[in-house]
Amino acid sequence: MRVAVIGGGVAGAELVRTALPGPLDITLIEPKKQIELQALYPEYLAGLTRIQDLAAPLAPFCERVGATFLNDRALRLEEKAVVCEHGQVEFDFAVVAAGASQNYFGIKGQEHTFSINTLEEAKRARRFVEDRNPERIMIMGSGLTGVEAACVLAESLDASIYIIEARERILPQFSPNTSALIEKALSKKGVNILTSAQVREVREDCILFADSNGTCLDCDMAIWTAGVKPSSFIEGLSLPKKKGWVLVDPFLLARDDVFAVGDCAWIEVDGRLATKTGLEAERQAKHVARNLTHLAENRALERYSVRASTDSQVALISLGCDCAVGVVGKMCIGAPTRLIYSLKSWIDKSFIRRFK
């Protein structure tokens, strides 16, 4: 059974790793030569992690497990083929695992911001930190990425770090007690927190807010972490969609012969909407690997069950200084501890080692 997997990130690469060896003939399509782990970008930005610890080359990995690696970009999905920039891959089943893009929400002055959504962007941001030694860094968005970046930068640089959130508290997608705990940890590190602060425009040397006073804060470096959106590739696919994401059924199928997993998919099963996290991407990938094997062996498909949902988050949040907190639903594991940091660090680094 020929399977084309589009995207060699957390979900795509993990699917290949779990499905093989087995009855499937898999081609992994990925424009980059390596799998890159976004979870370590905040540490990379602060100079605390090396590229070799967060990336692994895909060609030798595919060769080892018996998959075909196609270093190419998928352009569109046809009836039984993925059309790429340099050719096409015919399939019996396809899996869309193409991730998400940074969402700037149409903000003015996007060109004056840095992002850490891709390794290329994280490298550009790191170079700027090294070359320019910025004294005032504004991080826009206080989700996991914004919070982790603020913590590690506060610790490793002699700079004033600000975190700017449009809503009334940081980590708004988590429970109020988690927000309060993380806010305390950020303040202890000297991070300035601005909530209910809507950015109107980013200029070369300042940030303009959308308040009635037209407040403007000086800034040497603006880092945008606020939100993701479907990529142009996902936008162009004629598959069922919800809010632009590929909509799947409880078996993670978007159409009879196409699965979708990870950040590019809208996965809502039994009223629980999956979060766009590495934890979920990895579980979904394993599930589709199993369902593909069932299909090859004429067995029934299994329903997916969401673990980390938007109304009950599961996360390990790194707070720098070798500390992290664990969140499971409304429960937030106490004071930031080194043990939880070690666990997070071990999970992230051992994930990449699987592909080496």
Ligand X SMILES: Cc1cc2nc3c(=O)[nH]c(=O)nc-3n(C[C@H](O)[C@H](O)[C@H](O)COP(=O)(O)OP(=O)(O)OC[C@H]3O[C@@H](n4cnc5c(N)ncnc54)[C@H](O)[C@@H]3O)c2cc1C
Does position 231 bind ligand X by CB under 6 A?
yes
CB of 164 to ligand X, least distance (A): 17
Nearest to 272 by CA among 295, 243, 297, 304: 304
Give the residue, chosen from 55, 56, 62, 97, that forms a contact with ligand X under the rule CB under 6 A.
97
Q: What angle do CA 191, 192, 195 make, to 5 degrees?
A: 125
Q: Which stretch binds ligand X (CB under 6 A): 2-10, 106-114, 124-132, 216-224?
A: 2-10
30 binds ligand X (CB under 6 A): yes
Tell me the three-class secondary structure of 209-278, residue by residue: ECCCCCCEEECCEEEECCCEECCHHHHHCCCCEECCEEECCCCCEEECCEEECHHHEECEECCEEECCCH
Task: Pick out residues in 34-93 that bind ligand X (CB under 6 A).
Answer: 38-39, 41-42, 73-74
Near ligand X by CB under 6 A: residue from 99, 134, 230, 336? 99
303 Cβ contact list (under 8 Å, min separation 6):
250, 251, 269
Per CB under 6 A, the list member of 9, 141, 146, 336 interacting with ligand X is: 9
- The answer to whether the CB of 312 falls within 8 A of the CB of 348 is no
Token reading at 223: 């880092």
Question: Which residues, numbered 105-124, are part of the site for ligand X (CB under 6 A)?
Answer: 116-117
3-state DSSP of 304-336: CCCCCECCECEEEEECCCCCEEEEECCEECCCC
Which tokens hold the place of 309? Answer: 């949902």
Distance CA 187, CA 162 (A): 10
Shortest distance, CB of residue 352 to ligand X, whole angstroms?
12
The reply to whether 167 sits near ligand X by the rule CB under 6 A is no
| 6 binds ligand X, rule: CB under 6 A | yes
Residue 210 Cβ vs ligand X, minimum distance, rounded to whole Å: 25
Closest separation in Å from C-beta 303 to ligand X: 20
229 binds ligand X (CB under 6 A): no
Q: Does 12 participate in binding ligand X (rule CB under 6 A)?
A: yes
Q: Select the span of 6-14, 54-62, 152-160, 168-176 touching ligand X (CB under 6 A).
A: 6-14
Give 108's DSSP letter. Answer: B
CB of residue 296 to ligand X, shortest distance in Å: 23
* Residue 191 engages ligand X in binding (rule: CB under 6 A): no
62 phi and psi, to 5 degrees? -65, -40
Residue closest to ligand X (Cβ): 9
Distance CA(327)–CA(182), nearest Å, equals 11
In the complex, what is the shortest distance from the CB of residue 212 to ligand X, in angstroms, rounded to a whole number? 33
Least distance CB 293 / ligand X (angstroms): 20
**Which residues 140-159 are close enough to bind ligand X by CB under 6 A?**
144-145
d(CA 45, CA 153): 8
Q: Which is nearer to ligand X, 193 or 279 (CB)?
A: 279
Number of residues that bind ligand X (CB under 6 A): 34
Residues in 249-308 that interact with ligand X by CB under 6 A: 262-264, 276-279, 281
SS (H, E, C) 46-101: CCCCCHHHHEEEHHHHHHHHCCEEECCCEEEECCCEEEECCEEEECCEEEECCCCE
- Residue 29 main-chain phi, psi, to 5 deg: -105, 120
Binding residues for ligand X, rule: CB under 6 A, are 6-12, 29-32, 38-39, 41-42, 73-74, 97-99, 116-117, 144-145, 231, 233, 262-264, 276-279, 281
